[in-house]
Amino acid sequence: MRPQLTAIEQQKKLIRQQTRQLRTQIDQQSAAIAARNLCINIQALTSYQSAKAIACFLSFDGEINTAPTIDALLEDKGRCFLPKLKPSKPNRLWFMPYDGQTRLSVNRFGIPEVDKPVNLAIRVSSLDILLMPLVAFDTKGNRLGMGGGFYDATLAHLLSPEFADKRPLCIGIAYDEQRVSAIPAQEWDYPLDGVVTPTKFYQF
């Protein structure tokens, strides 16, 4: 028997349902324009211009299209890094180098990821910027993901004081429609430093 959801979990579930539904209502032309504008706004960040190691992700399940951003990363930086799921719990990620020609394979969730030996992964603390997927965000820097906790678990150790100067800038990327008034935060939720949308940069 599955345990009952807490009030916070129920609230998060409802926000996920509502925001994912909003994403499905964005037409193809608007989505393409949004993806291009998102890329322009990311490239305009001062932190982007000085960064050497930037991780992004391959869009899935109605997420804003990251293809223009990844193309820009390859042109501007020569490569980027993409997440790869660790095969067993705890739910964590490796960040693998990607150069546009790198072979991809599909993981257990149906998401393409880099098909390379994991010893090539970069330490998350060595990234300058981590561009993160999200389902919803608020203006206090709270991020709501799909619920698997992969990013939160991967980043958790960076909250230790010894990593104070080794944390990547964690920036969510999303449609403007994914902003909500408030997301209930839990102790394991890793906070965002900012969010870039097609029209705005939110700095927290």
Can you tell me whether residue 67 is helix, strand or coil? helix
Q: What are the φ and ψ backbone dihedral angles of 190, each rounded to 5 degrees?
A: -80, 125
Tell me, yes or no, whether 66 lies in a domain: yes
| Element of type H or E holding 55 | strand 54-55
Tell me, yes or no, whether 9 lies in a domain: no
Tell me, yes or no, whether 7 lies in a domain: no
Between CA 62 and CA 45 the distance in angstroms is 25
Tell me, yes or no, whether 17 lies in a domain: no
Tell me, yes or no, whether 11 lies in a domain: no
Sign of CA dihedral 187, 188, 192, 196: negative
Tell me, yes or no, whether 14 lies in a domain: no
Q: The domain containing residue 193 runs over which residues?
A: 28-203
Tell me, yes or no, whether 46 lies in a domain: yes
Q: Which residues are annotated as a binding site?
A: 12-16, 58, 63, 143-151
Q: Which residues are annotated as a binding site for ATP?
A: 12-16, 143-151
Residue 146's CB is within 10 A of a number of other CB atoms, namely 16
Count of the separate structural domains present in the chain = 1
Amino acid, single-letter form, for residue 15: I
Whichever domain contains 34, its CATH number is 3.40.50.10420
pLDDT tens-digit profile, the chain (204 residues): 556 778 888 999 999 999 999 999 999 999 999 999 999 999 999 999 999 999 999 999 999 999 999 999 999 999 999 999 988 777 899 999 999 999 999 999 999 999 999 999 999 999 999 999 999 999 999 999 998 899 999 999 998 888 888 899 999 999 999 999 999 988 889 999 999 999 999 999
Residue 54 · residue 127 · CB < 8 Å: yes
pLDDT attached to residue 2: 55
Q: Which residues are annotated as a binding site for substrate?
A: 58, 63
DSSP-derived pairing of the beta strands 201-203 and 194-196:
antiparallel
Tell me, yes or no, whether 8 lies in a domain: no
pLDDT attached to residue 68: 99
In 3D space, the residue among 152, 197, 177 whose CA is nearest the CA of residue 19 turns out to be: 177
pLDDT attached to residue 3: 63
